[in-house]
Structure 1
Amino acid sequence: SLEAVVWDPGTGRHVVRTFGREDAAIGPLLVHMGRALVTSATLQLGADVNLRCLSRTDVPASELYAPPALAGPRSFQALAEASGRVESTWFPFTECPWVRVWSAEPERPAGSLSLDKPYPYTFANWVAREDSDAAAAWLRETPSRTPAFLGLARALAQAGLDLTGTRDVWGPSRFTTLHVKPSTLRYHVSGHAILCRRADLQRVASEFHRAVEDLLEAARIRGAFPVNGPVDLRATGLDHAGPGQAEALLSPIRPRPDHPDWDCALWAEVLTLPGTPGAMRFFTDLEAWMLGNYTGDYASVRVEWAKGWAYSPAGPWTGPGMLEGHIPRGFTEGYGRGWREALEGLRALDPAGIFGSPFLDRLTKAR
């Protein structure tokens, strides 16, 4: 359940109201884009499980993201099928990504480091804000330093895993899955979720990786280096509601009833330091490519609300085609009134738009 500040027509004022997960009115509140004020939430959790996380830095990107016809046992999909949990971090202009594979292990495997707290990769979480800003300024001054900078970042990650003994860690999932703190480099991050069939996961990952490589190479030829951070890919299941529970209407990974075969999502993130020249052009081009590639019965793209999306040369959250077209369609196709249902629910709980903003008003205007 959750508690939210909502309009009460009976009293003519805003009140705190409790919504159970079985209450249809909770659907728009579960993912509300900031268009509501949730004051508390009560979560139902299962028992924690012990997970082992193995970090690999020996799989070339050409093998990890190989086209499906060439994919082998160390491909992204093969690793996901073997354990169900995989994430890759590729530093552009380098050969081998940092791949993390989680597996359920009730007992500590021999050789695994037992964790008693989260964030084991301390080598990645020590950057002061002024140092992050200095790195961004250094690369803005001479963008051609970017390949060397990314090579250094990748080398530091590999050395950090060895020096801290964290290539093989084990413990409660809350310790082995939480690994990024606010004290890492301060990146701008684009974020999208690609809904697809599990059988197509390798194709989705391979095509995305190739598109990023092609766009970066085209930029390099122009003398531009718009991406100076890693590219992260992560595979997950979808956001299924339990029996009798209301769906999260605006969840990026809400299942499509007209595509029950789309049973997983690939989360794709590209990171770059703020102010990097050419970054907005790159993100605009990449997003346009994604929308044109993952279509029809193959796959569909949704935005990760907490990250950057709807790009134009002016920056994130500005692209009219996304704001006024693709995003509403993405939550309407397969649902009938999906997008409109969510917006009507939010407006009913806050008819005066107290929790709105000019940006949200543009995004959520009736269509």
Structure 2
Amino acid sequence: MGISRRGLFKAGTAAAGGAVLVGYQSAAHATDAPPRLPQGIRPYRELYKNWDGAIVAAELWSYDVRNAQEVVTLANWAHANGWTIRARGYRHNWSPLTVAEGTPATAKVLLLNTTKHMDSCYMHGTTVVAQAGISMNSLVRHIADRKRGFTNMPAPGDVTVAGVLAVNGHGTALPARGEKRQQGATFGSLSNTVHALTAVVWDEASDQYTLKTFQRTDPEIGPFLTSMGRAFLTEVQLQTNPMEHYRCRTWTHISVRDLFAAPEKAGHWSLSSMIDRVGRVGLIWYTFTDKPWIQQWEVAPRRSFGSRPTITPYNFPFADRLPSPVPELLGQVVAGNQHLAPAFSKAVYATTATSLTTTLARDMWGPAHHFQHFVKPTTLRVSAGSHVFITRRDQLQRVVHEFTEFFSAKLKEYQDRGEFPINSCMELRITGIDDPGEVDVEGAVAPSLSGIAPVPGRPELDTGVWLDVLTLPGTPGQEKFFQELEHFIGLELTRYGVARPEWAKRFAHTERGAWTDEYQLKELIPSLVPGWDHAKATFHKYDPHRIFTAPLHDAMGI
């Protein structure tokens, strides 16, 4: 199309780092349409662009799939004609599990958009049955109207439920000390709430693709619970818990010295102490600042005096309408003036601290999902490299202390050379693991490919520390920085547990970019995920013709 990736990003951030172009449709031409399509299937051309704009593909063939049976029909068409089909949701992802950067318009790929029609749900007792394309916004509103909720889910609401399950999307939640888990609650990822799911699979007996429903007790369901996009789900059944209310307090005055102190020096404001008190803590630490933005959610059935009641989710509007001088500084950084990165981060911090007060967002109270959802489509689009580190809860403070010490030292090292590869922030989320014991189904199977799947023989490793580093797309030097960060997490921190990549984000870095380290992709990562071989065999059984694959799946041999 003659539009560069950098050009698209600049166009999307010029106003204020807000909304960016996420797709462009054009009419299909009969002369170049996919061959021998089933009757009634009328695809269109669409530019594919992911969340941060780092993956841009030419006008690919897309279709707004209407129901599960139509997915089956197209799966059999794809097999017969040498094509692949990929589920396409809201494209709120970073990794090329759907489309690879630069995929040409001639590629035999048909994207099936599930968000237009496969977006309904209904309650079945205390579980919710949802079609694959329903957004988390809609799903959560539906169950909240029935006084139900989830303990852990991602911050953005513009993601499909199937997309969340593909990458074991999570939030931030551990039980506070002494807290009793509610029936239906799980402190792992959303993958751990699944009771049953329906997927499109190859049936050897009938020699065709068909629908198959897997129950949570079926040993073969494990790979589908966190599929990495290697399967096409059409419907899921999820357990819910009684809706909780949270008191959300936000802090910007606590220094990193106190928050990330060494365990022997940890006090009242250390991260581990805060989690012990309330269980649910998330933080955003803007680079080149010394006081993170901390969100603390405390289970509170009744509103405390002074807490502002909330009406809807997304209670931080300043995150989407950054005032001057933030947009101007952002524009300068995007334009290549990387030395302004510290000034940009400090301006964002100052805006956050001031706006939390002026919008009365320092102390709020409402249903849990009002705070669990806080990232909107208009939030600044940044690239993210992330790993989860599985450790003992009593080692949590040690892990974050050593990681943040390394992160700070590495930023300083680059800064001293006049380089600023990380110009956004670092985020920390803390969860439990995907413990089958928290599923209300006896004999439940663990998600095979979950980043927080239990570590065999290590039951003491019960806590997931999600280490997420973010920077503007295309920032010079980020590949090398992420590579060094991965080596530290995978070598130094492993004294305290096990590191795994977050499938939705960037991983396996070399200086050539993410997903280019062949050793990690083919050997190291499979060795760190205990269900890898089982998942590989299961996917081969149920998709032997590999019609549900992207190039990253091929690179990882799964």
TM over 0.5: yes
* Structure 1 residue aligned with 2:433: 238
Q: Return the alpha-carbon distance in structure 1 between the equivalents of residues 515 and 267 of structure 2.
A: 38
Q: Which segments of 5 or more consecutive residues in structure 2 lack a partner in the other structure?
A: 1-195
Code of the residue aligned with 1:350 in structure 2: it is D
Name which of 335, 348, 352 aligns with 2:545: 352
Conserved 8 A contact 1:140-1:275: no
The alignment of Structure 1 onto Structure 2 pairs a total of residues equal to 357
Aligned to 1:157: 352
- When the two structures are superposed, what TM-score results if normalisation uses the length of structure 2? 0.62
1:81-106 C-alpha deviation (Å, 9 max, x unpaired): 11111111111211211111111000
Structure 1 residue aligned with 2:98: none
Q: TM-score, normalised by structure 1?
A: 0.93
RMSD: 1.8
Q: Which residue in 1 is equivalent to 2:488?
A: 289
Kindly report structure 1 stretches of 4+ aligned residues shifted beyond 4 Å.
131-134
Counterpart secondary structure, 1:89: strand
Alignment match, 1:328: 526
Match of 1:335 in 2: none
Read off the aligned partner of 2:277 and give its amino acid letter: A
Aligned AA (1:98) = W
Paired residues of 2:388 and 2:499 also in contact (CA < 8 A):
yes
Aligned to 1:340: 533
Q: Which residues in structure 2 correspond to 1:199-278 (within 5 Å)?
A: 199-241=394-436, 242=439, 243-278=442-477
Q: 1:96-107 counterparts in 2 under 5 A?
A: 96-107=291-302
Distance 1:59 1:302 in 2: 29
Letter in 2 for 1:328: P
Q: Name the CA shift for 1:132/1:24 in 2 (closer, same or farther; >3 Å).
A: farther
What is the percent sequence identity of the aligned residues?
A: 36
Q: CA 1:258/1:159 → structure 2, altered by over 3 Å: closer, same or farther?
A: same
Q: Deviations over 1:187-241 (max 9, x none)?
A: 0011111000100000100111111111111111111001111111111111111
String of CA shifts for 1:39-67, please: whole Å, max 9, x gaps. Answer: 12121211111111110111101110111
Q: Secondary structure at the match of 1:32?
A: coil
Note if contact 2:330-2:344 (Cα within 8 Å) is conserved in structure 1: no
Letter in 2 for 1:248: P
Partners of 1:140 and 1:276 within 8 A in 2: no
CA distance in 2, matches of 1:194, 1:284: 16
Name the counterpart of 1:307.
505
Paired residue for 1:188? 383
- Per the alignment, residue 17 of structure 1 pairs with 212
Alpha-carbon distance in 1 for matches of 2:455, 2:304 = 39
Query: Would the alpha carbon gap of residues 42 and 81 (structure 1) be closer, same or farther in structure 2, given more than 3 Å must change?
Result: same
Partners in 2 of 1:56 and 1:157 — Cα distance? 10
Q: Which amino acid aligns with 1:220?
A: Q
Q: Distance in 2 between matches of 1:321 and 1:120?
A: 43
Moved more, 51-60 or 353-362: 353-362
1:124 to 312, 316, 319: 319
Distance 1:126 1:41 in 2: 36
**1:322, 1:121 → 2: CA distance?**
38
Which residue of 340, 345, 364 maps to 2:557? 364
Contact 1:136 1:274 (C-alpha < 8 Å) held by counterparts: no
SS at match of 1:43: strand
Distance in 1 separating the partners of 2:372 and 2:386? 19
Maintained 8 Å contact 1:169/1:176: no
Give the 5 Å matches for 1:132-171.
Answer: 135=330, 138-171=333-366
Inter-partner Cα distance in structure 2 for 1:141 and 1:181? 26
Q: Do structure 1's residue 72 and structure 2's residue 267 form an aligned pair?
A: yes
**Which whole-Å CA distance do the structure 1 matches of 2:427 and 2:389 have between them?**
13
Q: Flag the structure with higher helix content.
A: 1
The answer to whether structure 1 residue 34 and structure 2 residue 233 are counterparts is: no
Distance in 2 of aligned mates of 1:239 and 1:268:
18
Query: Greater RCO between the two (CA within 8 Å, min separation 6)?
Result: 1
* Alpha-carbon distance in 2 for matches of 1:224, 1:35: 38
The CA deviation string for residues 105-148 of structure 1, in whole angstroms up to 9 with x for no partner, is 00111111112211111110247xxx989936634521110110
Compared with structure 1, are the counterparts of its residues 190 and 93 closer, same or farther at alpha carbon in structure 2 (3 Å cutoff)? same
